[in-house]
A and B are shown apart, each in its own frame.
Chain A
Amino acid sequence: MPIRFDNVTYAYPAEESDLVAVREVSLTIEDGSFVCICGENGSGKSTLAKLMNGLLQPTVGVVTVDGKTTATEEEKELFAIRQKVGMVFQNPDNQMVASIIEDEIAFGPENLGVPREEIGERITYALEAVGMSEHRKHTPYKLSGGQKQRIAIAAVLAMRPEVLVLDESTAMLDPRGRAEVLKVAEDLHRQGITVVLITHFMEEAARADRVVVMKDGRVVMDGAPEEIFRDREAIAKYDLELPVADALAASLVEAGLPLEDKIYGESALAEAICRSK
Chain B
Amino acid sequence: MHNVVFGQYYPSDSVVHRLDARMKLLAVILYIVTVFFVVDYAMYAALFLFVFAVALIAKIPLKVLFRTVRTIVFLVLITSIINLFFTQGDTLWVHWHFIKIYREGVERAIKLALRLILLMLFPSILTLTTTPMELTDALESLMSPLKLLKVPVHAIALIMSIALRMIPILVEETEKIMQAQKARGADFDTGGALKKAKAMIPVLVPLFVGAFRRADELALAMDARCYSSVAKRTKYRVMRFALRDLFASLFCIAVFSLVFLNKYLWPFDEMILSLFGSL
Closest Cβ–Cβ distance, residue A170 to chain B (whole Å): 16
Q: Report which of B158, B221, B227, B238 forms a contact with A94, defined as CB distance below 8 A.
A: B221
Set of chain B residues within 8 Å of A79, measured between Cβ atoms: 226, 228, 231
Bin chain A's interface residue count: 35 or more
The answer to whether B165 and A111 have CB atoms under 8 Å apart is no
Interface positions of A from 103 to 127, Cβ below 8 Å from B: 103, 106-116, 119-120, 123
With A91-B217, A97-B165 as given contacts, are A111 and B226 in contact (CB-CB < 8 Å)? yes
Is the beta-carbon distance between A112 and B226 smaller than 8 angstroms?
Answer: yes
| B213 surroundings in chain A (CB, below 8 A) | 94
Q: Which positions 85-127 of chain B face chain A at CB distance < 8 Å?
A: none
A98 to B233, CA, bound (A): 16
In the complex, what's the smallest C-beta–C-beta distance from B17 to chain A, in angstroms?
Answer: 13
Within 8 A of A (CB), among B150-176: 158, 161-162, 164-165, 168-169
Contact partners of B168 in chain A: CB under 8 A: 141
Please, which residues of chain A bring their CB within 8 A of the CB of B228?
A: 75, 79, 111
Which one of A91, A94, A113 has the greatest number of beta carbons of chain B within 10 Å? A94
Answer yes or no: A149 CB below 8 A from chain B CBs.
no
Contact A110:B235 (CB < 8 A) given known A79-B228, A95-B218, A156-B225: yes
Q: Is B214 an interface residue, CB under 8 A from the partner?
A: yes
Contacts between chains A and B (CB distance < 8 A), count: 102
A89 interface residue (CB < 8 Å to B):
yes
Most chain-B Cβ atoms within 10 A of its Cβ — which of A91, A96, A102, A107?
Answer: A107
Whether the pair A86, B224 counts as a contact (CB closer than 8 A) is yes
A229 to chain B, nearest CB (A): 31
Confirm or deny: A87 has a beta carbon within 8 angstroms of a beta carbon on chain B: yes
Contacts A89-B220, A93-B214, A139-B5 given; indicate if A107 touches B225 (C-beta within 8 A): yes
The reply to whether B234 and A113 form a contact with Cβ atoms under 8 Å apart is yes
- Alpha-carbon gap, A50 to B217, bound state (A): 12
Q: A93–B169 contact, CB under 8 A?
A: yes
Per-residue contact bits, chain B 159-197, to A (CB 8 Å; 1 contact, 0 not): 001101100110000000000000000000000000000
Q: What would be 11 A-B contacts, judged by CB atoms less than 8 Å apart?
A: A55-B224, A83-B226, A86-B224, A94-B221, A96-B221, A98-B133, A102-B236, A106-B237, A108-B226, A109-B236, A119-B236
